[in-house]
Copies of this chain bind each other. A is one copy, B any other.
């Protein structure tokens, strides 16, 4: 069964680089990757925060948040 991974971003250059390299490199046979733009989808900021996301870009998988470099703090997206 595939696991779900969520890539949270805000469209920033750092986010796009992480998306194109890391998020898009995940094994599609193991992970379904959802891409969520928190800048245009503010309703999901709380969900991201609850999952441990403190900045974007971040990947939430296996129950943990993995921040990939630093594009913007989550407070800037509220």
A29 to chain B, nearest CB (A): 8
- Complex CA distance for A31 and B20, rounded to whole angstroms: 14
Distance, CA A21 to CA B27, complexed state (A) = 11
Type the 1/0 row for A21-33, where 1 means its CB is closer than 8 Å to any CB of B. Answer: 1100111111100
Residues of B within 8 A of A26 (CB): 25-27
Measured CB to CB, the nearest residue on chain B to A52 is B69
**Which of A25, A27, A67 has the largest count of B CB atoms less than 10 A from its CB?**
A25
CB–CB A22/B61 < 8 A: yes
**Contact A61:B28 (CB < 8 A) given known A66-B69, A67-B68, A68-B68:** no
A17 at the interface (CB under 8 A from B): yes
